[in-house]
A and B are shown apart, each in its own frame.
Chain A
Amino acid sequence: MIDTALSADVRAGRLGHSTLRPDGVAKVQGTFQFSGDLTADGVLWGATLRSPHPYARIVRIDVSGAWKITGVEAVITADDVPGVMTYGLIDQDQPVFASDVVRFVGEPVAAVAANHPDACRRALDAIVVEYEVLQPLTDPEKAVDGSFEAIHPLGNVFRQQRIVRGDQTIEGPIVVEGSYELGMQDQAFLGLEAALAVPDAGGAGVELHVATQWLHEDRKQIAACLGMADEQVRLVLGGVGGAFGAREDISLQVHTCLLALRTSRPVRMAYSRQESFLGHVHRHPCRITMRHHADHDGRLLRVEARFVFDGGAYASTSSAVLVNGITHAQGPYKCDNATVDGWAVRTNNLPCGAMRGFGVVQACFAHEAQMDKLAAAVGLDPLEVRLRNAMETGDRLITGQVVESVAPVARLIRELAAMPLPSEPVGGHDLNPMRLPGGAGRTADVGNVRRGIGWAVSIKNLMYSEGFDDYSTARVRLADGIATVKFATAEVGQGFVTLAGQIARSVLGVDEVVLDQIDTQVGSAGSTSASRQTWMSGGAVDGACRLVRERMFERVATLHGLDPLGLVIEGTEVVDTVSGLRLEVSEATAGIEFDETFEHHHRPTEDLDEFGQGNCHTAFAFAAHRAVVDVDPELGLVKVVEVATVQDIGRALNPLSITGQIEGGIAQGVGLAVMEEIIQLNGHVKNASFTDYLLPTFLDMPDVVIGLVEEPEPQAPLGAKGVGEPPTVSSTPAVVAAIRDAIGKDLTRVPVRPTDIVFG
């Protein structure tokens, strides 16, 4: 399905080819060095003391007991932070260590370094923190209506934003409305947070090896807290075992550096799974109400919506998540009139920030449920109502922004509808009880099961928004036919290390590409998030390679008396299209080095105004999903049988890599649909372990059928759109729509729990 015609006649290792990951074998064989595996001579272990309370005043901290534990080399609290006391991606409101008030369960209060993890544990146990426990704010509506005292000096509302567009009085002859809710999903990457900090002699600086998504932004925040200049802090990417947004914020970075500088020794920190659940931001829980007005043909007249995102204790990226959510309220559909109100608020729940889909997952769950309701209300097929409203290039969003991206929404829907349904009957052809809802629990017989089909379509912005220039940098050197590529792009599993080589080989006509260490010794690459690195860092590597190629062509032209404009790369040769002269790239670069650096910037964007109007987004990608589920209505158990998808990708630069992104994204979407949720009771986390925070297993993962729509994106440097987020955005609503189809109930919350199916 995936091996497009493009890859068949493409040279191995070049763009369009399903080149394998350079680190793939090492990862499968267990020899890849993840950041948790890093160590150094004389290394100490670091550990963090965390708040057991969602909201409390710190009356007293007594660390003297920790110093009495053998092996302890450092004990630090807020008093030991030399620079600014707080950090954050957008607003710096999160303390390195809480000093006066703790605002969520798991908030760091102190840290220790010792010669053994056991000594760390005993030292943490020996620190006495006296708390005055306060009543926590856990209901986000109380932050919206202002009925709860401010739990932070900056108040309880991170951002409020409206979108008001068009005729505010239009009422449809057809009106459908609903209230929707999404629980808190965790990124649940397998490689836990880990870092190794190595101090420079005399404390002049520090080198931090860390699994992160954005080295330069980390450096900026770390340096500020350490009271150092950026140059004094060098970051090197440690092996990353997944990210999905959870590594965009600071977690253990500052603590590890502080301990290393304090002890003048290397310090490693590594979170446990439980700590990881508390120590990074999550997907925002969200409550949404929507009212769609349409004419009798099912054409949208107006969308009204209200969003409340629970951002938890600290700001992180809540304000940007909010804007993403509300600006995608219409979905991939034409709609001229809209009234949207959105809040992102502070509570004493776990902090929330970036997670794959970034606010759009929430919007899509609601608008797709609404489109199904609309279809039912006008008596149309769910696909027909979507086709009638399908967005096209040139349409305006409810922000007034014109969609200039390729927008093949109708084509996605038609191609998805044309895909055959799974031929497998309930339980499979050979009736394997494991394939029934309940799986290995063997709860169902075929007669207990009903099948359902659901559809969902999405629009997702690519890159950063609202005026942010999230550029990327790459440096390329070419000598003796070998290209060396340097960038600070965090490889978190998405495969940029594969793609960078493919770009260099294609542009420069080389077979051998060396990837330099990923660190801060080159300009920023921006974050590995927002589906942006293929576009942004791909653009940077492509740009740097083109500069180098120009230099090489100029030299060949000078030496051979040719016009450089007539030169092209074919295979591993420089070819003059005029004279037919052919020269191996290795010859053309023998004994000489070309070295160029390039920054790729996307076109500028704007802030939203008070009515939510403005060209705030850079570009968009679209996807359509169809889910087939088997449901046991009596027990409320679900087996997702298949998810088929057609995705707008621009151009398949590495079809295998795209398959990986799509399958993985669907796994996360299925997880949110039927099981993944961090459960908090009055601010206390009930399931911070993989025993009770359930991720889909092999038996829960559906078969995935993939269709790619390749309409090259003119704005994108390589014609390719980001593919990481769309699979997660509309797979969740497709699965829930399929469950609704099977049981005929209004499921308005994800994850859908057995109780919702049985008693809902």
Chain B
Amino acid sequence: MSVLVPTSLVDALQALAEHPDATVLAGGTDLMVELNGGHRRASSVVVVNRVPELCTWRHDPVSRTLRLGAGVTYAQIERDPIASLVPGLAEAARTVGSPQIRHAATIGGNVGTCSPAGDGLPVLSALNAEVELVSAEGVRSVPFSSFMVGPKRTLRGPGELISAITVPVVDGWQGYAKVGVRNAMVIATASAAVVADSRRGTVAIALGSVGPTILRCPEAEAHAMEHADFGERRLAPEVVSHCCELVRLASRPIDDHRSTAAYRRHAVGVLAGRLLRRAFPNE
């Protein structure tokens, strides 16, 4: 197995161009588990966590966007200054693994794996994040919602690197919650993110672990938006309940050894309801 450790983006892209079947390694918290467990084999590995361009982030106050290099870790995201810019993603970051894992695990790796249980992903979906892909041929940008095409399946082509994730900096409340069978270090059995953009007057709801991809809930979002008072942060209880129902209908969970479809459908509704209540604390 050859292991390449480029120290610049140019070198990284060249390495990938030369080894189009190479496996990219960032924090390794997904990849090493798969390699050690024999679920995946790698003929060559390109290590990207020493590429400075991937490990930086930039807040652009004019375009009101935050560009996170793929190599930014959850430990960085859960703290200021990033945390106040994307509190929902910070909240999701805090639910990931343990402190040790969060110091190694990157947002790019979460997007690279693209598991329906990836904790960063519902927030990225609810924020309409853009995934930036770069290769020797050039750069392209894909909305997260189309980037993820199935469980652990994405639009990333051979030789392409995830270079950054760009999200809007939103006024208003955003948050994330996940259900697992223990109080930490657990894979989500159901999760939800809510973003209430008070400037635009929009509500976004995204669900994790209850479908083959991260699911958005257009009906529930529309119903919430129609009735929400963003100034007063007010939402009537019956609107919240109805949104929960619509969220449950939007979910497409399965039975497996971690839980049942019935529980997941129930739980994701409860989560969405609670998040909406946190976004709109007044009845």
Which residues in A have some Cβ–Cβ distance to B below 8 Å? 121, 274, 434, 437-445, 448, 634-637, 639, 674-675, 679, 681, 686-687, 689, 691-692, 694, 696-700, 753-755, 758-759
The answer on a CB contact under 8 Å between A694 and B186 is: yes
Among residues of B, the one whose C-beta sits closest to the C-beta of A755 is B263
User: Besides A440-B185, A448-B274, A689-B37, 7 other CB < 8 A contacts?
Assistant: A434-B184, A438-B177, A443-B177, A634-B270, A635-B271, A674-B182, A697-B185
The answer on a CB contact under 8 Å between A441 and B179 is: yes
| Contact with A699, one of B178, B181, B184, B277 (Cβ below 8 angstroms) | B184
The answer on a CB contact under 8 Å between B184 and A700 is: yes
The answer on a CB contact under 8 Å between B263 and A442 is: no
The answer on a CB contact under 8 Å between B182 and A675 is: yes
Binds A, one of B126-134, B138-146, B252-260: B252-260
The answer on a CB contact under 8 Å between A635 and B179 is: yes
**What's the Cα separation between A637 and B263 when bound, in Å?**
12
| Contact with A687, one of B177, B183, B257, B263 (Cβ below 8 angstroms) | B257
The answer on a CB contact under 8 Å between A440 and B184 is: yes
B262 to chain A, nearest CB (A): 7
Write out the residue numbers on chain A whose beta carbons fall within 8 Å of the beta carbon of B227.
none
| B266 contacts A by Cβ under 8 Å | yes
16 contacts between A and B (CB under 8 A): A434-B183, A438-B177, A440-B95, A441-B95, A442-B95, A444-B274, A637-B183, A686-B257, A689-B37, A694-B186, A696-B182, A697-B182, A700-B184, A754-B179, A754-B259, A758-B266
The answer on a CB contact under 8 Å between A274 and B37 is: yes
Write out the residue numbers on chain B whose beta carbons fall within 8 Å of the beta carbon of A438.
177, 179, 183
Interface of B is mostly: mixed
| B187 contacts A by Cβ under 8 Å | yes
Among residues of B, the one whose C-beta sits closest to the C-beta of A273 is B37
With contact pairs A448-B274, A758-B266, A759-B263 given, residues A437 and B183 touching in the complex (Cβ less than 8 Å): yes
B7 to chain A, nearest CB (A): 30
Write out the residue numbers on chain A whose beta carbons fall within 8 Å of the beta carbon of B274.
443-445, 448
| B176 contacts A by Cβ under 8 Å | yes
Write out the residue numbers on chain B whose beta carbons fall within 8 Å of the beta carbon of A639.
183
| B91 contacts A by Cβ under 8 Å | yes
B195 to chain A, nearest CB (A): 16
Write out the residue numbers on chain B whose beta carbons fall within 8 Å of the beta carbon of A759.
262-263, 266
| Contact with A443, one of B37, B94, B179 (Cβ below 8 angstroms) | B179
The answer on a CB contact under 8 Å between B179 and A675 is: no
Interface size, B (range)? 35 or more
Among residues of B, the one whose C-beta sits closest to the C-beta of A440 is B184
Within 8 A of A (CB), among B181-229: 181-189, 191
**What's the Cα separation between A675 and B177 when bound, in Å?**
20
The answer on a CB contact under 8 Å between B184 and A698 is: yes
Among residues of B, the one whose C-beta sits closest to the C-beta of A443 is B177
The answer on a CB contact under 8 Å between A441 and B257 is: no
Write out the residue numbers on chain B whose beta carbons fall within 8 Å of the beta carbon of A697.
98, 182-185
| B158 contacts A by Cβ under 8 Å | no
| B267 contacts A by Cβ under 8 Å | yes
| B278 contacts A by Cβ under 8 Å | yes
| Contact with B258, one of A121, A637, A692, A699 (Cβ below 8 angstroms) | A692
**What's the Cα separation between A179 and B262 when bound, in Å?**
25
Write out the residue numbers on chain A whose beta carbons fall within 8 Å of the beta carbon of B258.
692
| B180 contacts A by Cβ under 8 Å | yes
Write out the residue numbers on chain A whose beta carbons fall within 8 Å of the beta carbon of B260.
755
With contact pairs A679-B257, A681-B257 given, residues A441 and B183 touching in the complex (Cβ less than 8 Å): yes
**What's the Cα separation between A686 and B259 when bound, in Å?**
12
Interface hub of A441, A674, A681 (most chain B Cβ within 10 A): A441
Interface hub of A448, A634, A687, A689 (most chain B Cβ within 10 A): A634
Among residues of B, the one whose C-beta sits closest to the C-beta of A439 is B183
Interface hub of B98, B257, B259 (most chain A Cβ within 10 A): B257
The answer on a CB contact under 8 Å between A443 and B271 is: yes
Within 8 A of A (CB), among B259-283: 259-260, 262-263, 266-267, 270-271, 274, 277-278
B24 to chain A, nearest CB (A): 22
**What's the Cα separation between A636 and B259 when bound, in Å?**
12
B84 to chain A, nearest CB (A): 17
B93 to chain A, nearest CB (A): 10
The answer on a CB contact under 8 Å between A694 and B181 is: yes
A510 to chain B, nearest CB (A): 43
Write out the residue numbers on chain B whose beta carbons fall within 8 Å of the beta carbon of A444.
274
Among residues of A, the one whose C-beta sits closest to the C-beta of B188 is A441
**What's the Cα separation between A697 and B182 when bound, in Å?**
8
Among residues of A, the one whose C-beta sits closest to the C-beta of B96 is A440
**What's the Cα separation between A691 and B187 when bound, in Å?**
8
Write out the residue numbers on chain A whose beta carbons fall within 8 Å of the beta carbon of B38.
121
Write out the residue numbers on chain A whose beta carbons fall within 8 Å of the beta carbon of B98.
697
B260 to chain A, nearest CB (A): 6
The answer on a CB contact under 8 Å between A635 and B187 is: no
A668 to chain B, nearest CB (A): 14
Closest 9 CB pairs of A and B: A439-B183, A686-B257, A699-B183, A441-B178, A440-B184, A699-B184, A697-B184, A755-B263, A443-B177
With contact pairs A442-B94, A698-B184 given, residues A692 and B263 touching in the complex (Cβ less than 8 Å): no
Write out the residue numbers on chain A whose beta carbons fall within 8 Å of the beta carbon of B181.
674-675, 694, 753-754
With contact pairs A442-B94, A443-B271, A700-B183 given, residues A754 and B263 touching in the complex (Cβ less than 8 Å): yes
**What's the Cα separation between A759 and B259 when bound, in Å?**
13
The answer on a CB contact under 8 Å between B271 and A758 is: no
The answer on a CB contact under 8 Å between A758 and B182 is: no
B74 to chain A, nearest CB (A): 12
Write out the residue numbers on chain A whose beta carbons fall within 8 Å of the beta carbon of B277.
445
**What's the Cα separation between A639 and B267 when bound, in Å?**
17
Write out the residue numbers on chain B whose beta carbons fall within 8 Å of the beta carbon of A442.
91, 94-95, 175-178
User: Chain B 15-51 against A: per-residue CB contact (8 Å), 1 yes, 0 no?
Assistant: 0000000000000000001000110000000000000
The answer on a CB contact under 8 Å between A440 and B263 is: no
**What's the Cα separation between A759 and B38 when bound, in Å?**
38
Write out the residue numbers on chain A whose beta carbons fall within 8 Å of the beta carbon of B182.
439, 674-675, 694, 696-697, 699-700
Among residues of A, the one whose C-beta sits closest to the C-beta of B186 is A694
**What's the Cα separation between A95 and B177 when bound, in Å?**
49
**What's the Cα separation between A493 and B33 when bound, in Å?**
28
With contact pairs A754-B179, A755-B259 given, residues A441 and B186 touching in the complex (Cβ less than 8 Å): yes
**What's the Cα separation between A699 and B94 when bound, in Å?**
13
The answer on a CB contact under 8 Å between B184 and A692 is: no
**What's the Cα separation between A443 and B182 when bound, in Å?**
12
Write out the residue numbers on chain A whose beta carbons fall within 8 Å of the beta carbon of B178.
441-443
A574 to chain B, nearest CB (A): 54
**What's the Cα separation between A635 and B271 when bound, in Å?**
9
Among residues of B, the one whose C-beta sits closest to the C-beta of A436 is B183
**What's the Cα separation between A22 and B31 when bound, in Å?**
38
Write out the residue numbers on chain A whose beta carbons fall within 8 Å of the beta carbon of B186.
441, 694
Write out the residue numbers on chain B whose beta carbons fall within 8 Å of the beta carbon of A439.
182-184
Write out the residue numbers on chain A whose beta carbons fall within 8 Å of the beta carbon of B176.
442
Among residues of B, the one whose C-beta sits closest to the C-beta of A442 is B177
The answer on a CB contact under 8 Å between A441 and B259 is: no
**What's the Cα separation between A439 and B37 when bound, in Å?**
28
**What's the Cα separation between A675 and B184 when bound, in Å?**
12
Among residues of A, the one whose C-beta sits closest to the C-beta of B180 is A441
Write out the residue numbers on chain B whose beta carbons fall within 8 Å of the beta carbon of A637.
179, 183
The answer on a CB contact under 8 Å between B177 and A441 is: yes
Within 8 A of A (CB), among B86-119: 91, 94-95, 98
Write out the residue numbers on chain B whose beta carbons fall within 8 Å of the beta carbon of A681.
257
**What's the Cα separation between A692 and B33 when bound, in Å?**
13
**What's the Cα separation between A753 and B175 when bound, in Å?**
26
**What's the Cα separation between A445 and B91 when bound, in Å?**
15
Among residues of B, the one whose C-beta sits closest to the C-beta of A753 is B181
A125 to chain B, nearest CB (A): 10
**What's the Cα separation between A679 and B259 when bound, in Å?**
11
**What's the Cα separation between A438 and B258 when bound, in Å?**
16
Among residues of A, the one whose C-beta sits closest to the C-beta of B92 is A442
B173 to chain A, nearest CB (A): 14
A696 to chain B, nearest CB (A): 7
Among residues of B, the one whose C-beta sits closest to the C-beta of A695 is B182
The answer on a CB contact under 8 Å between A440 and B94 is: yes
A54 to chain B, nearest CB (A): 16
